[in-house]
Amino acid sequence: MNPHLGKHVSVIGVPMDLGADRRGVDMGPSAIRCAGLEQRLEHLGYTVRDEGDLIVRRAKSYGAAPESNLKYLYEIVRVNSELAEAVAGMVDQGRFPLVLGGDHSIAIGTLAGVLRRKPSVGVIWYDSHGDVNTADTSPSGNIHGMALAAAMGYGHPALVGIGGGCPSVQPEHVAIIGARSLDPGEQRFLKEKGMAVYTMHEVDKLGIVRVMELALERVTRGTSGVHVSVDLDGLDPADAPGVGTPVAAGISLRESLLAMEMLSDAGVVTSAEFVEVNPALDIRNRTALAAVELITSLFGEKIL
């Protein structure tokens, strides 16, 4: 067990697929549980409380907001608002929030809940995408590509307002790792905000160890903890085939396990989420099994 994380973990599933507008990822929480998550964490010495899943409604009437191109805006806001309340409650109880997705739009609610109790938090965004689009820059209107921007206070007021006006994530407290698919508007945003983005170029050139050292230095400077947001499409599709938006030439599972081990050793992680596992596109639950390996590495599992 990693003593830095505390010994009490609350797991909550968010079977959200509206942010991606593609079916299948709503089964992600169940797939991760079926891959043995609770048993593995208990074996490491943690007391795990499964809080179940939030309810996500799907109907045609929950489509795009009339004044924007954002798909399923109001249902995504409703679910994320519930998630923010749940996560804030876990923090109040001294429990580690471990959120299972679902698509990456749920990060807005997770971070809102964390920020209500920890106003200055660092963020490791482990993802092949930047997720800093807004309605003005998004080519699809899919909110899972806007989650980080919304958590930073940019985007539709309904998304930015999730959590009741909690503080926003600061650009200098974010490190994006593994990016290799960025829209033009995202490229401009990231440059304008001076954000730390460790693309696959940096991962290949510097190695994952140096990238993680630089990222940790960034996200721990002036913060009261670190939130880890892992999109399984950050991994190479050979290791994580069950994702909705795979991008070739990603970080290997081996490198990713080392990254999680380094985060564990740093003793700074206070919340986490693992998202975008899509069992409908997976092969023998390989991606959910990879997610469990990553989670247990983050929670201190060692080979010896």
**What's the pLDDT tens digit per position in 202-224?**
999 999 999 999 999 999 999 99
Backbone phi and psi for residue 111, each to the nearest 5 degrees, phi listed first = -65, -35
Helix (H, G, I), strand (E, B) or coil at 56: coil
pLDDT on residue 166: 79
Active site residue 129: yes
Q: In the CATH scheme, what is the code of domain 7-298?
A: 3.40.800.10
| Active-site position among 75, 186, 202, 276 | 276
Q: Report the pLDDT averaged over residues 148-160.
A: 97
Q: Are 236 and 252 in contact (CB under 8 A)?
A: yes
| Active-site position among 17, 26, 75, 129 | 129
| Active-site position among 82, 144, 186, 282 | 144
pLDDT on residue 64: 62
> 65: pLDDT confidence band, cut at 50, 70 and 90?
low
pLDDT tens per residue across span 2-44: 877 779 999 999 999 999 978 999 999 999 999 999 999 999 9
pLDDT tens per residue across span 159-198: 999 998 778 999 999 999 999 999 999 999 999 999 999 9
Active site residue 17: no
pLDDT on residue 98: 98
Active site residue 127: yes
pLDDT of 59 higher than 80 = no
Active site residue 131: yes
Active site residue 4: no
Alpha-carbon distance of 52 to 303, in angstroms, equals 30
DSSP state, residue 167: P
Active site residue 104: yes
| Active-site position among 127, 186, 236, 282 | 127
pLDDT on residue 63: 62
pTM above 0.95, yes or no: yes
| Active-site position among 17, 53, 75, 104 | 104
| Active-site position among 26, 53, 82, 131 | 131
Residue 302 class from Cβ within 10 Å (0-12 exposed, 13-18 middle, 19+ buried)? Answer: exposed
Q: Report the pLDDT averaged over residues 232-254.
A: 97
Active site residue 231: yes
Active site residue 8: no
What average pLDDT is seen over the chain?
95
